[in-house]
Amino acid sequence: MISDPITTSDLSPANAPFVPRLMLATDLDGTFLAGSPAHRQQLYRLVDRHPEIRLTFVTGRGLEAVMPLLSDPSLPRPDYVICDVGGTVVDGRTLQPIQPLQTRIDRRWPGEHAVATEMAGFRGLVRQDVPQERRCSYFCEPDALADVRADIEATAKRLGCSVLYSADRYLDILPPDTDKGRTLAALAEHLELPRERVLVAGDTLNDLSMYTSGFQGVCVGESEPALVTATDQLSNVFHAQAPGCGGILEAIAHFDLLDADDPHLRGTGEPTTGQSDLVMVYHRLPYEEYIEDGERKRRRPTSPNGIIPSLLGFFGGGQTGSWVAWSVDDPKLGTFETRTPVDPEAYPDLTVARVPLSKTEVDAFYKRFSKEAFWPMLHTFWERARFSEDDWAIYLRVNRKFAEATAAEAAPGATVWLHDYNLWMVPAYLRELRPDVRIAFFHHTYFPSADVFNVVPWRREILGSLLQCDYIGFHIPRQVENFVDVVRGAMPTEVLEREGCAPRFLT
């Protein structure tokens, strides 16, 4: 979730003795990343917006495999990340190790080479092909394990390492006395965080150590049966019905961790929806506004813009639609009309939803930022691009306004069609407000190669936002390749399908 840069809080113990009311320490796959879309949205909002909640990811993934989640705008950013099944502990913002905790773990680890060499002799162990540090992780079928378990444990013991088997397939060799629970306990102590302020959440046996380290916790619905059995008798563990985020929400109520009337707890309920099946979101109005004698007037667009007539062509066939665009909100011109018809004769079912922007916002968002930062970069004149954090903050604010106006126009399940780089961050906000809509995005400009695009300081946020779309369109295959290349450089990517196109577009 994209917090305003100004409101981002800092929880490093050195400069903030702040003790949160609740630290949610949660596993990711099957837990925090699981559950119904409505539950996920409700929990993510709660964690993101509640000033007294802090978040720690506690996962079996390696740090590299957690990183894509940190730029996923639909997820709250964690304050701490414990990864590698407890082998790694870092600050969620800087990704720097938390010392002295990390050094203590490092000292205990005999090293990848020593462990992998000793384990190489066991049949049935297949090394996992995922990033891993301070651990060696394997796949192992339960049947194959039965034969070698005792020997593996004896070997690990010789190395001074711990063995963890979970979900009937993962075998982790970990540094001695290291697991999710013990690393979390060390972190809580380091932060002087009382254990009763922590809620742990998980779904497989590699989470067991969190419940046995003295934290109250929840096994979310659909947990691995072996975890449910192992925690059955523990009075500090709640077994939730709903899977994933729904289970965590149940646990917050069960343990009374927030006041029942806490306004942040209220579900988002049904989002407010509009009537339009097709919402066109282009920053320009489909007509031109000008001021004459202190009054707002309209005329046909004078600039040679081919996009407007093309997009207008989608309306007029009885399709109820909206067009979202900005307009200057100048108090001197009287009340600002938000919704107005475009042309009752030519497009009887098309309404314009005007997003009110102040003159300062127009100057920063449109005249300065879009034209001086993104436009030169997109056209590969990256050395002329000027990036300013202050303008980016305004760009985010304006994109949020567009998302809010769009959310209010779209009928349930509507198609929202966004246009151009001025609105790159709209999908991130819109997906959060309206998980039900189909989002398409079309680029009317060139999309450059990765080495050019990567000069943008906020490239990860932009990619995270664009990946909330159901469709992303470009002019020609070359630009699609460029985009895919950029994505590939930022996160693990798999190409599932390729489509052909007319040969004339290839060269």
Nearer to ligand GLC, 109 or 374 (CB): 109
Q: Which is nearer to ligand GLC, 170 or 392 (CB)?
A: 170
Binding piece for ligand GLC, criterion CB under 6 A, among 114-122, 129-137, 227-235, 238-246? 129-137
**Residue 86, token pair as written in the block:** 């407890």
252 and 245 in contact (C-beta within 8 Å)? no
Which DSSP helix (H) or strand (E) runs through 488? helix 477-490
Cis (ω within 30 of 0) for the bond into 51? Answer: no
441: its two tokens? 């995005």
The residues in 22-61 that bind ligand GLC, with binding defined as CB under 6 A, are 29, 60-61
The strand order across the sheet containing 347-357 reads 339-343, 347-357, 321-328, 276-281, 410-419, 438-442, 471-473
Q: Exactly one of 31, 206, 415, 465 binds ligand GLC (CB under 6 A); which one?
A: 206
- Confirm if 85 and 66 have CB atoms less than 8 A apart: no
Nearer to ligand GLC, 163 or 242 (CB): 163
Strands of 136-139's sheet in order across: 126-127, 136-139, 170-174, 162-166
- Indicate the residue among 174 and 285 with the shorter CB distance to ligand GLC: 174
User: Is 162 near ligand GLC (CB under 6 A)?
Assistant: no
Rounded to the nearest whole angstrom, what is the least distance from the CB of residue 184 to ligand GLC in the complex? 14
Comparison of 31 and 351: residue with beta carbon closer to ligand GLC: 31
Instruction: Please calculate the CA angle 466-243-439 and round it to the nearest 5 degrees.
Output: 20
> What is d(CA 174, CA 160) in angstroms, rounded to the nearest whole number?
9
Chain residue at closest Cβ approach to ligand GLC: 60
Q: How many residues does the chain have?
A: 507
Asked if 191 and 185 count as a contact pair (C-beta separation under 8 A), the reply is: no
Q: Is 128 an interacting residue with respect to ligand GLC (CB under 6 A)? A: yes
Out of 116, 130, 346, 501, name the contact with ligand GLC by CB under 6 A: 130
Name residue 288's amino acid: E
Angle at 62 between CA 42 and CA 463, to 5 degrees: 55
Closer CB to ligand GLC, 166 or 406, in the complex: 166
What x-and-dash track marks residues 407-436 binding ligand GLC by CB under 6 A? ------------------------------
Cβ 165 to ligand GLC, closest distance in Å? 9
Listed ranges 124-132, 222-230, 388-396, 405-413: which one lies at the site for ligand GLC (CB under 6 A): 124-132
* Two structure tokens written together for 175: 């540094």
How many Cα atoms sit within 13 Å of 76 on the Cβ side? 27
**Residue 179 interacts with ligand GLC (CB under 6 A): yes or no:** no
- Residue span binding ligand GLC (CB under 6 A) among the ranges 130-138, 277-285, 288-296, 333-341: 130-138
Closest CB 203 distance from ligand GLC, rounded Å: 11
- Answer yes or no whether residue 170 interacts with ligand GLC by CB under 6 A: yes
Give me the least distance between CB of 76 and ligand GLC, in Å please. Answer: 21
Choices 17-25, 126-134, 216-224, 394-402; region in contact with ligand GLC by CB under 6 A? 126-134
Using CB under 6 A as the binding rule, whether residue 276 contacts ligand GLC is answered as no
Q: Does 482 engage in binding with ligand GLC (CB under 6 A)?
A: no
User: Residue 366 carries which side chain, given as an amino acid letter?
Assistant: Y
Site for ligand GLC in 71-110 (CB under 6 A): 85
Considering beta carbons, is residue 127 or 297 the nearer one to ligand GLC? 127
From 71-79, 104-112, 166-174, 320-328, give the range in contact with ligand GLC by CB under 6 A. 166-174
Spatial separation of the C-alpha atoms in residues 225 and 138, rounded to whole Å? 21
- In the bound complex, what is the minimum distance in angstroms from residue 56's beta carbon to ligand GLC? 16
Residue number, 60 or 464, with CB nearest to ligand GLC: 60
Cβ–Cβ under 8 Å, residues 416 and 439 = yes
CB of 179 to ligand GLC, least distance (A): 9
Q: Which stretch binds ligand GLC (CB under 6 A): 15-23, 72-80, 165-173, 368-376?
A: 165-173
Give the interface segment with ligand GLC, choosing from 164-172, 218-226, 291-299, 359-367 (CB under 6 A): 164-172
Burial 461-498 (b: 16+ CB within 10 A, else e): bbbbbbbbbeebebeebebbebbebbbeebbeeeeeee
**Helices assigned H by DSSP within 120-258:** 142-159, 180-190, 208-211, 225-231, 244-254
| 166 is a site residue for ligand GLC (CB under 6 A) | yes
Shortest reach from residue 238's CB to ligand GLC, in Å: 22
Long-range contacts for 195-199 (Cβ within 8 Å, ≥24 apart)? 197/19, 197/20, 197/21, 197/22, 197/23, 198/22, 198/23, 198/25, 199/22, 199/23, 199/24, 199/25, 199/248, 199/251, 199/252, 199/255, 199/257
What is the binding site for ligand GLC (CB under 6 A)?
A: 29, 60-61, 85, 128, 130, 132, 137, 166, 170, 172, 206
